[in-house]
Amino acid sequence: MTTKFIFVTGGVVSSLGKGLTSAAIGLLLENRGLSIRMQKIDPYLNVDPGTMSPFQHGEVYVTDDGAETDLDLGHYERFTSSPLDQMSNFTTGRIYQSVIEKERRGDYLGKTVQVIPHITDAIKSSIEEISAPDVDVVIAELGGTVGDIEGLPFLEAIRQFGLEKGPGNILFIHLTLLPYLRASGEVKSKPTQHSVGKLREIGIQPHVIICRTEVPLEAEIRNKISMFCNVAKTHVIEEKDVDFSIYEVPIVLSDQGLDQIIIDNLKLPASPKDLSEWQGMIDKVKTLSQTVEIAVVGKYIELHDAYKSIYEALTHAGIANHCSIQLRKIRAREFEENGSEHLLDGVDGLLVPGGFGERGIEGMISAVRQARETKIPFFGICLGMQIATIEVARNVLGFAGAHSTEFNETTEHPVISLLAEQEQIQDMGGTMRLGSYPCRLKEGSHAHRAYKQTSIHERHRHRYEFNNRYRSDFEANGLIPTGIHPDRDLVEIVEFQDHPWFVAVQYHPEFKSKPLQPHPLFRDFVSAASQRSPERQASHSA
Ligand code: GLN
């Protein structure tokens, strides 16, 4: 069978949850026995989000093959089993880069190079590239909002794509917002009419409209959208704000028959649906008994999206441990101010996530010290692992001023440093240790107990490394390297044995956690934290 294509566009406002909705559609189609591929198209000029500030863009999601991608790919991976790689996310920057390189090589044989057809052709071939004989459906999500100038070449490209593939091979889904006016108690459809009007001007008639709304869709408003937007009433789908969890979205969409609509329109050979396992997970979310409070101390704490996968992985670990996670997000810099010794009072666990640059580093070091000394379960991730190493070097090994050369190039004790081969690199884009690497675990360690195997693969995104010159000093003082890159002898995990749970990893485990398969380290971290919480309550009442 030839691959069919679904394009998901957004209207009215950004941040509507297009990524989540696309991922939910992916889940529903996989559940019907179809093989899918997900793709995110970003109409900005950066070649990839790898060089963008998390404050601008949120987290950079990393794939096994080392692509630095948009965080929506995290949703795709949490909801589906579609493989993701370098081709799963592309930007205007990447398209222009390839077209200009071709132009310089003379590949256009003297022609004038133009947005139409050269840019639009390059866009179409980047979409086509992820189709394959064994792929039933490609779901491509277009970033931004209809009406954005920078999105125009992409809409033109997908219009042409639809024309070339012909009816029955392509489905346009438009996600839109229905604002609710509290004063008059009304839901408004006009912005949606305008947004669909804009799409139709370009030549795209959506087949399905998904309406984000706070309140249920009344028949009257559904009829209005159907008539003005030229979409069948049954194809106007409500996506109301969910009460408990984002993981309810596929169920909400499937209850209105969205999977069947797609299957019928694209004439897909589907099997019956069975969402019982997914539903079981949601039922569990609704009945979580205990609350575990986890402090997250980082640099980009104000922006939830900057640590998106970490928060999701904590939620998954909570479900596995029957507890809901309460986050205490603390800006690292607050640990540099007076009174910071009380910032962790009452928390059950501390997590220090990844990051770049010097701001807040001393604060993170103080936070880790408190967790180590007062035996609060601690989980360090990437920069968090480097911070733990620096803290132990300074305060246990007695190496005053120990540091990472990222923050102090002339430190006397560079316990975190660059590998020799990285020292010459000048470019910032795509030059870190990126993607999946193997790691061998030490038997009997916390890590080994969690993974229940000695050979694992995890994804990396960093420049600096644990400095092996200091390995024996750390070991002699109880901070044990328990995960090692087998060929290059790089320390990927360190942990304390005489602490309830103190594990720090150089990689990003959060990228591989899914609601039905929580990551083993997150699961055990939250388990250690949950054990601390009743203990503490008992000691308080004694
Ligand atoms: N800044 C550190 C490095 O480059 C850590 C990176 C990270 O946390 N992702 O090594």
**Rounded to the nearest whole angstrom, what is the distance from the C-alpha of residue 50 to the centroid of ligand 1?**
12
Mean pLDDT of all residues in 179-192: 93
Mean of the pLDDT values across residues 20-33?
98
Confidence of residue 108 (pLDDT cuts 50, 70, 90): very high
d(CA 531, CA 284): 20
User: From the alpha carbon of 354, which atom of ligand 1 is closest?
Assistant: 8
What average pLDDT does this structure show over 372-397?
97
Interval 485-499 mean pLDDT: 94
Task: State yes or no: pLDDT of 177 exceeds 70.
Answer: yes
Q: Which atom of ligand 1 is nearest to the CA of 416?
A: 10
DSSP state of 115: I
Long-range contacts of 277-285 (CB under 8 A, 24+ apart): 277/516, 278/27, 278/31, 278/247, 278/250, 278/251, 278/516, 279/251, 281/247, 281/319, 281/515, 281/516, 282/244, 282/245, 282/247, 282/248, 282/251, 284/319, 284/322, 285/244, 285/245, 285/247, 285/319
Query: Mean of the pLDDT values across residues 516-533?
Result: 94
Residue with tokens 């009215």: 12
Phi first, then psi, for residue 529 (nearest 5°) are -65, -40
* Residue 81 pLDDT: 96
What average pLDDT does the chain have?
93
Average pLDDT over residues 203-230: 95
Start-to-end Cα distance in the chain: 69
Centroid of ligand 1 to alpha carbon of 15 (angstroms): 27
Tokens at residue 201, please?
Answer: 């001007």
User: Is residue 117 reached through a cis peptide bond, with omega within 30 degrees of 0 on the bond before it?
Assistant: yes
502 in Cβ contact with 377 (< 8 Å)? yes
What confidence category does residue 85 fall into, taking pLDDT thresholds of 50, 70 and 90?
A: very high
Q: Residue 539 above 90 pLDDT?
A: no
Reported for 339-345, long-range contacts at CB under 8 A and 24+ positions apart, including other chains, are 340/366, 341/370, 343/295, 343/367, 344/295, 344/370, 344/371, 344/374, 344/376
Catalytic residues: 382, 508, 510
pLDDT at 313 over 80: yes
Residues 6+ apart with CB under 8 A from 264: none
Range of lowest pLDDT (18-27, 200-209, 527-536): 527-536
Average pLDDT over every residue of 282-306: 92
| Alpha helices (H) along 323-398 | 361-373, 383-395
| Nearest alpha carbon, ligand 1 atom 6 | 462
Is the confidence at residue 456, as pLDDT, over 80?
Answer: yes
- Length, in residues, of the chain: 542
The pLDDT of residue 56 is: 80
Rounded percentage of the chain residues whose pLDDT exceeds 90:
86
- With a Cβ cut-off of 6 Å, ligand 1 is lined by 354-356, 382-383, 406, 461-464
Alpha helices in 48-151 (DSSP H): 54-57, 72-79, 92-105, 120-128
Task: Reply yes or no on whether the pLDDT at 266 is more than 50.
Answer: yes
Q: What is the per-residue burial (b if ≥16 Cβ within 10 Å, else e) of 101-117? A: eeeeeeeeeeeeeeeee
Rounded Cα–Cα distance for residues 102 and 31 (Å): 41
Residue 542 has pLDDT above 80, yes or no: no
Average pLDDT in the 319-327 region? Answer: 95
Name the residue with tokens 């839901």: 187
Q: Binning pLDDT at 50, 70 and 90, where does residue 381 land?
A: very high
Q: How far is the CA of 356 from the centre of ligand 1 (A)?
A: 6
| pLDDT score for 428 | 67
User: Is the CA virtual torsion 334, 340, 346, 348 positive or negative?
Assistant: positive
User: DSSP string spanning 207-220?
Assistant: SEEEEEESSPPPHH
Ligand 1 probe mutation, 60, 381, 406, most atoms within 8 A of CB: 406
Q: Where does the pLDDT of residue 363 fall: very low under 50, low under 70, confident under 90, or very high at 90 and above?
A: very high
Task: Indicate the top mutation candidate among 300, 352, 383 to test ligand 1's pocket, ranked by most ligand atoms within 8 A of CB.
Answer: 383
How many angstroms separate the alpha carbon of residue 328 from the centre of ligand 1? 23
- Determine the distance separating the centroid of ligand 1 and the alpha carbon of 301, expressed in angstroms: 16
Q: Which atom of ligand 1 is nearest to the CA of 464?
A: 10
Average pLDDT over residues 468-485: 96
Ramachandran category for residue 362: left, alpha or beta (phi over 0 → left; psi -120 to 50 → alpha): alpha
- What kind and span of H or E run contains 38? strand 36-42
Structure tokens at 524: 């055990």
State yes or no: pLDDT of 397 exceeds 90.
yes
Nearest CA to ligand 1 atom 5: 383
> For residue 326, how far is its CA from the centre of ligand 1 (angstroms)?
26
Mind listing the pLDDT tens digit for each residue in 403-414?
999 999 999 999
Residues in CB range of 485: below 8 A, 6 or more apart: 437, 438, 439, 440, 492
Q: What is the predicted pLDDT for the residue at 338?
A: 80
Reply yes or no on whether the pLDDT at 211 is more than 70: yes
Q: For a pocket test of ligand 1, which of 352, 461, 490, 510 has the largest count of ligand atoms closer than 8 A to its C-beta?
A: 461
Per-residue confidence at 537, pLDDT binned at 50, 70, 90? low
Q: What is the pLDDT of residue 13?
A: 86
φ and ψ at residue 502, rounded to 5 degrees = -135, 95
In this structure, the residue with its CA closest to atom 7 of ligand 1 is: 354
Q: Whose CA is nearest to atom 1 of ligand 1?
A: 356
Q: Within its chain, how far is the Cα of 268 from the centroid?
A: 29
d(CA 251, CA 336): 45
